[in-house]
Amino acid sequence: MRALSRVGEPVRWLASRARPRRGMGSSAAAGGRRDPGENPKVGRLRELFTGDAADGWEKSWEFGVTPWDLGKPTPVIEHLVRSGTLPKGRALVPGCGMGYDVVALACPERFVVGLDVSDLAIKKAKQWSSSLPNADYFTFLAEDFFKWIPSEQFDLIFDYTFFCALDPSLRVAWAETVNRLLKPDGELLTLIYLISDQEGGPPYNNTVADYQKVLEPLGFRAVLMEDNELAIKPRKGCEKLGRWKRCAHQSSL
Residue pair 166/117 in contact (Cβ under 8 Å)? The answer is no
* Annotated domain spans of the chain: 37-246
Average pLDDT of every residue of the chain: 83
Superfamily of domain 37-246, CATH level 4: Vaccinia Virus protein VP39 (3.40.50.150)
Mean pLDDT along residues 169-181: 97
pLDDT single digits (tens) 176-224: 999 999 999 999 999 998 988 777 777 889 999 999 999 999 999 999 9
- Cα-Cα end-to-end distance for the chain: 43
pLDDT single digits (tens) 117-162: 999 999 999 999 999 999 999 999 999 999 999 999 999 999 998 9
**pLDDT band at residue 25, thresholds of 50, 70 and 90?**
very low
Mean pLDDT along residues 67-95: 94
Report the alpha-carbon distance of residue 115 to residue 99 in Å, rounded. Answer: 9
3-state secondary structure of 161: coil
Report the alpha-carbon distance of residue 27 to residue 21 in Å, rounded. Answer: 9
Whole-Å CA distances, 231 to 72, 211, 215, 239: 13, 19, 24, 7
Residues belonging to the chain: 253
